[in-house]
Structure 1
Amino acid sequence: MYQNSLKVVVYKMFDYKYLSKEEIKGFNKYKYSAIDTSPLSKYVMHPTWNTVVKFIPKSIAPNLITFAGFLCMVIAVVTLSVYDYDFYAVGGRPGVVGYQSEVPNWVFTMCGVLIFLAYNLDGIDGKQARRIGVSGPLGELFDHGLDSFIVFLVPYSLVSVYGRDQEYSVSCFRGLLIVISVVMNFYVSHCEKYNTGVLYLPWSYDLSMWVSALLFLFAGAYGPEFYKYYVFGDVTFTQALEAVIHCMGFITTYPVAVYNVYLSNKNRTGKRYPILQATKPIWSMLVMTGATIYWAVQSPNNVIEVYPRAFIFMFGTLFSNISCRLIIAEMSHSRCELLSWMTWPLLGGMVMSLCQPQLEAIILHLLSALFLFTHVHYGICVVRQICNHFKINCFTVPKDKRK
């Protein structure tokens, strides 16, 4: 009796209708359109994935492959959090003289393998969907929704590779800026799709996944001290990597996105929104990112250095939720919201932390928990709502498609 009541409560809890009737109907006429011109993807990865997918049973649902890739990243992050919660484990811990790694090398090796596996599973899921004939809006939403979290978890994990020692590394605040720089490539690409109707996959994605996996694998083979050296003059390896990451977006993503939106308007192939509507997706992300950076800079307790993992995780969860809402808007042919409701708790928490410094740690961890729960709730409810609309199961292949 008690178990049945609990099931009913859980069912109702995750049966909230986030999508309006207009948004749901918009999915009926959605068609996937993407362009991938990356040489690495075109000549290496796609041929590999086309071969590998032939060995996957048709009874395995594409969304199950997508979720397996996501779980690989979750396992990597959880493992690193256990061994290196405060990012001091590869150097820089107060009171410790000299370099002393506290993370076993096998952890880095495992994380490198998991990241590369997640990357490949993310490429294979679409191949499996087209192979068995179950491609549809749910698959793309599920894929890109989880990608919005994975694209954050990868640079979030990399902080543990270079650590936070004062000589060879960068501060946690600069680590936050690196994470922001990486995830913005993903968001800008979807802002571009919101206006053009076509997802132009950035070259930096495939390259960054390869580089991230290799950084972990080399750390596993030679230890994280392998990266503690000066590239030239007073510039360390981590500082050089930081500069490259920041430059990638400005070279390979941002100008290309602006140009593609310009061409779609000029050739009348895109949605041709008025300027205010075309730039609407920018504001939620701009306000959220600006508030996060301002909080980190003005924190009376230097919260980004004291609780870096919780603070950066809070940002990543917010980023993923705002990205998912943008993805839904572009797929359902609806207008993007101006500001996410999560902006207000963030701003309120930031102001309260600055006014009541003794509560800052509590506020930070409460906000992180709140944003994580609401984001998971949002994702589960949206997937269930779309499954009910199309009368399909997220993780099951119809019997007539298994032959």
Structure 2
Amino acid sequence: MGCMRYLSEAHLRGFERYKYSSIDTSFLSVYVMHPFWNYCVKFVPKWLAPNVLTFVGFLMTVVNFILIAYYDWGFEAANSETGNTVPAWVWTVAAINILIYYNLDGMDGKQARRTGTSGPLGELFDHGLDSYSAALIPIYLFSLFGTHDLPPIRMFFVIWNVFLNFYLTHVEKYNTGVMFLPWGYDFTMWGVSGMLFVATVFGPEMYRFSIYGFTVANMFEFVLIGSGMVSSHPIIARNIYLSYKNKTGKMRPMWEMLRPFFAFVWLFVITVVWSFFSRNDVINKEPRILWILYGTIFSNIACRLIVAQMSDTRCDAFNVLMWPLAATVGVCCFPYYQQVFDTDLTSDTERWILYGLTIFSTLAHWHYGYGVVSEMCDHFHIRCFKITKQTVAAEEELQDVVEDAKPTENVEEV
């Protein structure tokens, strides 16, 4: 990576001490999916690196995004009076790809333990790609409803709800040291796939009816937002509280405990300003690109938090990608633009600014991800997508270091 490095010595030393701790209480996950994954992983060749499974699963979500975007770039296909113009086979492929992503995401850790290659790189790689998928997956469903039943401004809050649910799980781990796997994830994956399969069999018109003005899109929003508020957020708050009460967590001071929220809230505020006060109503003209931009910067914030919580270091309070975003929003929402510059900011100009910023942010995020993975591979003398004798030896040595280190938490007490 040349002279640019993303991981400090403190990060790398923290990764050396890291040991994965998680609690999964979802009955669907524990009693159905884990036994199924334990069975399926037996058919995976032992020479196949776990990160390959992770990456292939992620690529399925990318394929879905590209495929549906090709047929419905502006989320307007469902608005047609003659029915959704996206071919039925697209929904079938999308539903299958979601299941592939979900199952490979469940099998990669088992493949790592099976091959003796468990380590911090695999978890970081997995959760980092999941943070990107958190932006991509909701976008598929928007094409089922169209902009008539689910206007872009409501899409905005749906996406941010997904961001919040994902982010809170890692804020929880940042403070407790334990990954409490959320119940909603398994049900959401099956729900998304089920909705896409229904669109295949009965047509997406199934999602266009309403009862006394209450549409399926309204139900979708209600269930998605309500489930997080009921089944996730209170439990996360309780787990953090208990970790302080029982002194089993990181025991950070209050402002340090809240520090992960700073960058998250900054991003939310900046995106709200652009979405509501754009001089050219960019949210209704280019919603898909806007979601990708927001999702990319969110993923970068989430990845940096994951690095901090895994290495037991201080997380960032502000993300560097928000500087160009804030500058762009300042220009595109400046109320006296015409008076100051003696010309107005045209719709095409704002659109090209959005495209340029999205490309820049995406490349910067990819560079960050590539850099972090490369630095960890160099440090631990392993390969990301290949199992070697050095990989197994490095993981065994890492486990010895972890066993010799004093544990920082007791999973059972949290």
- TM bracket, shorter-chain basis: over 0.9
1:306 CA displacement = 0.5
Q: Is the 8 A contact 2:381 2:390 kept in 1?
A: no
Q: Is the 8 A contact 1:132 1:401 kept in 2?
A: no
Q: Is the 8 A contact 2:296 2:361 kept in 1?
A: yes
Please give the alpha-carbon distance, in whole angstroms, between the structure 2 residues aligned to 1:393 and 1:351: 43
Within 5 A, what are the aligned runs for 1:255-294?
255-294=234-273
Please give the alpha-carbon distance, in whole angstroms, between the structure 2 residues aligned to 1:46 and 1:272: 32
Q: Secondary structure at the match of 2:78?
A: coil
From 71, 94, 104, give the equivalent of 2:87: 104
* Misfit runs of 4+, over 3 Å: 399-402
Q: Secondary structure at the match of 1:396?
A: coil
From 215, 219, 222, give the equivalent of 1:240: 219
1:99 CA displacement = 3.6
Q: Secondary structure at the match of 1:200?
A: strand
Q: What is aligned with 2:409?
A: none
Q: Secondary structure at the match of 1:392?
A: coil
- 1:308-331 CA deviation, whole Å, 9 max, x = no partner? 101111110011000000000000
From 181, 185, 188, give the equivalent of 2:168: 188
Q: Is the 8 A contact 2:128 2:299 kept in 1?
A: yes
Q: How many residues align?
A: 381
1:62 CA displacement = 0.2
Q: What is aligned with 2:9?
A: 21
After the TM superposition, which of the residue ranges 317-326 and 290-299 deviates more from structure 2? 290-299
1:183 CA displacement = 2.1
Rate the CA distance shift 1:389–1:215 in 2: closer, same or farther, 3 A: same
Asked if 1:87 is matched to 2:75, the reply is yes
Q: What is aligned with 1:7?
A: none
From 147, 169, 172, give the equivalent of 2:152: 172
Please give the alpha-carbon distance, in whole angstroms, between the structure 1 residues aligned to 2:357 and 2:390: 46
Opposite residue 63 of structure 1, the aligned amino acid is N
Asked if 1:204 is matched to 2:184, the reply is yes
Q: What is aligned with 1:139?
A: 122
Rate the CA distance shift 1:366–1:81 in 2: closer, same or farther, 3 A: same
Asked if 1:64 is matched to 2:52, the reply is yes
From 132, 135, 147, give the equivalent of 1:152: 135
1:203 CA displacement = 0.7
Q: What is aligned with 1:46?
A: 34
Q: Secondary structure at the match of 2:79?
A: coil
Q: What is aligned with 1:370?
A: 360
Q: What is aligned with 1:121?
A: 104
1:100 CA displacement = 3.2
Q: TM-score, normalised by structure 2?
A: 0.90
Q: Is the 8 A contact 2:15 2:310 kept in 1?
A: yes
- 1:179-198 CA deviation, whole Å, 9 max, x = no partner? 11112111001001000000
Opposite residue 373 of structure 1, the aligned amino acid is L
Q: Secondary structure at the match of 1:164?
A: helix
Q: TM-score, normalised by structure 1?
A: 0.92
Asked if 1:380 is matched to 2:359, the reply is no
Identity %: 43
Opposite residue 397 of structure 1, the aligned amino acid is I
Please give the alpha-carbon distance, in whole angstroms, between the structure 2 residues aligned to 1:186 and 1:35: 16
Please give the alpha-carbon distance, in whole angstroms, between the structure 2 residues aligned to 1:289 and 1:208: 23
Please give the alpha-carbon distance, in whole angstroms, between the structure 1 residues aligned to 2:184 and 2:200: 24
Q: Structure 1 regions of 5+ residues with no counterpart?
A: 1-10, 93-97
Q: Secondary structure at the match of 1:35?
A: strand
1:17 CA displacement = 1.2
CA RMSD of aligned residues (A): 1.4
From 287, 292, 298, give the equivalent of 2:277: 298
Q: Is the 8 A contact 1:36 1:202 kept in 2?
A: yes
After the TM superposition, which of the residue ranges 271-280 and 357-366 deviates more from structure 2? 357-366
1:248 CA displacement = 1.4
Q: What is aligned with 1:324?
A: 303
Q: Is the 8 A contact 1:196 1:269 kept in 2?
A: yes
Q: What is aligned with 1:392?
A: 382
1:220 CA displacement = 1.4
1:399 CA displacement = 4.5
Please give the alpha-carbon distance, in whole angstroms, between the structure 2 residues aligned to 1:62 and 1:400: 15
Q: Is the 8 A contact 2:135 2:291 kept in 1?
A: no
Q: Secondary structure at the match of 1:125?
A: helix
Rate the CA distance shift 1:125–1:149 in 2: closer, same or farther, 3 A: same
Q: Secondary structure at the match of 2:313?
A: coil
Q: Is the 8 A contact 1:90 1:99 kept in 2?
A: no
- 1:5-47 CA deviation, whole Å, 9 max, x = no partner? xxxxxx65xx731111111111000000111111111111101
Q: What is aligned with 2:412?
A: none
